[in-house]
């Protein structure tokens, strides 16, 4: 009783994360790193036809390159990344991930430069393994290393925002972070073809070099954030060795506990199916529009760039809605339905009508879909996973997702080649079969979304409930008392 009375009279100790300016500044710093990462991911997506004509990359080679970003993650690195995150904390893991992105980016940049052409390494790589140009193989290696850092950064940012916005505007913060990243996709689809044409001679080197330099800026932004996070940990009484976010220390055996969760697998399968119909599609979207509408790569990029803008504009509002009203599971279902409709439109209606208005409409609607699913998906994970291994839960979901992201681009490249026998002109491909593959992934994602909503209705996980806990401050005061 005496302790309870004392807690009512003593001033509440305010953490750095309780200050609005501090937590939003932290968001801006970590989101900047992801902004530049997303720009680098898609810097070559509008340039598929250019690398085919200039560097000799076939659709198969481009597919292997696009899938390379995720290969090392699939073979265990991402699981290791989650364990590192839970053991070492967001500061160490984020700095490591940003450094890996920078290192991988410059390897990829070197592979595309004239300095690499004709070297002994280029000759050896061209003759080794499969009939891909040496530049494609080295670029894929750099993209693998970058991908390790990028996916590690993704789970680090998710856990960072869960930490800094606990009991506050978590979905809004995650939505804004995703929106900022989507703006990066808009920006790179806008400027990459123009940077490639800069100087009169088309080249893929200039846009890649530009984005590699931006990644260095992103690394500096995260380093600045580490000073803020260190101060927050001191206020929370965190360990000097790692950020103690729960009373129990993470154990390797917890990975087995996560894998044994039925709910984990439903969320992970929904994630991998949905994202496999989005990110690999981005790699081929510009060339698909070129072929369907008979336009240049710059014109195609100018049309497709509105896809991430739709997502960027809506995601923060959807985050606010989730924080205050809920309905996360319903949003996942709606997003999957919209995606199916859009991919079928690209498969059949756009080639038949050649309508730019229809194309723009489908792209905007796909952006709405891409707002609904991520905005609802990632804030739902802390509701169903123990905070003690939240980082590992995120990493394992990302790991399952990466399996699809690694192999779907390769599958699409092979489907594109098989459905266009003898076609060598990158402006003449028929994309009907690849778009049907993307639509089928959306159908499977919809099925898992319906299963997830049914399980939430039965077991009351809170996926349809608001994220903001109105009495969060009182709960924290009682806990300290």
The answer to whether residue 11 scores a pLDDT higher than 70 is: no
Task: Give the separation between CA 406 and CA 410, rounded to whole angstroms.
Answer: 7
pLDDT, position 239: 42
Torsion angle (degrees, nearest 10) of CA 299, 303, 308, 313: 130
In a domain, 199, yes or no: yes
Contact 242, 89 (CB under 8 A): yes
In a domain, 12, yes or no: no
Q: Mean pLDDT over residues 353-357, rounded?
A: 94
- pLDDT-derived band at 360, boundaries 50, 70, 90: very high
Mean pLDDT, the chain, integer: 85
DSSP code at position 463? T
Task: Give the separation between CA 330 and CA 304, rounded to whole angstroms.
Answer: 27
φ, ψ for residue 310 (rounded to 5)?
Answer: -60, -40
In a domain, 2, yes or no: no
In a domain, 194, yes or no: yes
Q: Mean pLDDT over residues 219-227, rounded?
A: 95
| Of residues 301, 105, 304, 292, the one with CA closest to residue 205 | 105
Residue 19 burial (CB count, 10 A): 11
What are the DSSP calls for 32-82, one per residue? HHHHHHHHHHTTTGGGHHHHHHHH---HHHHHHHHHHHHHHIIIIIHHHHH
Say how far residue 444 (Cα) sits from the centre of its chain: 20
- CATH number where 211 lies: 1.20.1250.20
In a domain, 241, yes or no: no
| Tens digit of each residue's pLDDT (9 = 90 or more) over 167-189 | 788 778 887 888 888 888 889 98
Residues of the chain with pLDDT > 70, as a percent, come to: 90
In a domain, 36, yes or no: yes
| Of residues 380, 53, 54, the one with CA closest to residue 205 | 54
The answer to whether residue 456 scores a pLDDT higher than 80 is: yes
What the block records as the tokens of 91 is 């500061």
In a domain, 447, yes or no: yes
Task: Give the separation between CA 445 and CA 294, rounded to whole angstroms.
Answer: 32
Please tell me the total count of domains within the chain.
1
The answer to whether residue 8 scores a pLDDT higher than 60 is: no
| Tens digit of each residue's pLDDT (9 = 90 or more) over 304-332 | 988 887 777 777 777 778 778 878 888 88
Q: Which pTM does this prediction carry?
A: 0.74
In a domain, 450, yes or no: yes
Question: Higher-confidence residue: 390 or 278?
Answer: 278
pLDDT, position 12: 53
DSSP code at position 198? T
Rounded CA Rg of the chain: 23
- Structural domain including 160 reads 22-229+254-473
């Amino acid at each position: 009783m005496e302790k309870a009375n004392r807690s009512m009279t003593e001033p509440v100790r305010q953490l750095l994360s309780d200050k609005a300016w501090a937590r939003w500044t932290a968001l801006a710093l970590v989101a900047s790193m992801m902004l530049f990462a997303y720009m680098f991911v898609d810097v070559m997506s509008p340039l598929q036809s250019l690398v085919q004509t200039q560097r000799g990359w076939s659709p198969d080679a481009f597919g292997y390159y696009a899938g390379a970003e995720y290969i090392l993650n699939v073979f265990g690195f991402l699981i290791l990344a989650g364990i590192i995150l839970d053991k070492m904390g967001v500061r160490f893991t984020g700095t490591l991930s940003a450094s890996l992105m920078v290192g991988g980016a410059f390897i990829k940049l070197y592979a595309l430069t004239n300095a690499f052409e004709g070297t002994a390494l280029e000759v050896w790589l061209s003759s080794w393994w499969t009939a891909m140009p040496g530049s494609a193989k080295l670029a894929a290696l750099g993209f693998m290393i970058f991908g390790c850092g990028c996916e590690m950064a993704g789970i680090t940012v998710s856990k960072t925002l869960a930490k800094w916005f606990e009991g506050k505007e978590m979905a809004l913060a995650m939505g804004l972070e995703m929106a900022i990243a989507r703006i990066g996709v808009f920006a790179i689809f806008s400027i990459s073809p123009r940077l490639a044409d800069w100087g009169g001679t088309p080249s893929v080197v200039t846009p890649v070099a530009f984005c590699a330099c931006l990644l260095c800026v992103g690394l500096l932004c995260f380093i600045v954030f580490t000073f803020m996070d260190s101060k927050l940990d001191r206020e929370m009484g965190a360990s000097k060795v790692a950020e103690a976010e729960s009373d129990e220390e993470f154990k390797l055996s917890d990975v087995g506990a996560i894998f044994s969760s039925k709910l984990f697998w439903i969320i992970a399968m929904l994630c991998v199916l949905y994202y496999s119909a989005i990110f690999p599609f981005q790699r081929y979207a510009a060339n698909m529009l070129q072929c369907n509408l008979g336009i240049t790569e710059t014109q195609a990029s100018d049309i497709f760039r509105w896809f991430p803008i739709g997502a960027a504009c809506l995601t923060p509002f959807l985050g606010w809605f989730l924080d205050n009203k809920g309905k996360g599971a319903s949003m996942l279902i709606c997003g999957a339905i919209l995606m199916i409709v859009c991919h079928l439109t690209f498969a059949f209606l756009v080639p038949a009508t050649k309508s730019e208005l229809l194309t723009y409409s489908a792209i905007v609607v796909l952006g709405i879909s891409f707002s609904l699913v991520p905005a609802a998906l990632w804030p739902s994970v802390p509701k169903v996973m123990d905070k003690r291994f939240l980082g590992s839960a995120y990493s394992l979901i990302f790991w399952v997702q990466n399996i699809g992201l690694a192999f779907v681009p390769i599958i699409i490249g092979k489907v594109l080649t098989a459905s266009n026998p003898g076609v060598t002109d990158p402006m003449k491909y028929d994309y009907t079969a690849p778009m049907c593959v993307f639509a089928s992934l959306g159908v499977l994602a919809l099925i898992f979304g319906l299963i997830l909503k049914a399980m939430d209705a039965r077991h009351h996980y809170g996926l349809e409930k608001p994220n903001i806990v109105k009495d969060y401050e009182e709960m924290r005061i009682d806990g300290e008392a």
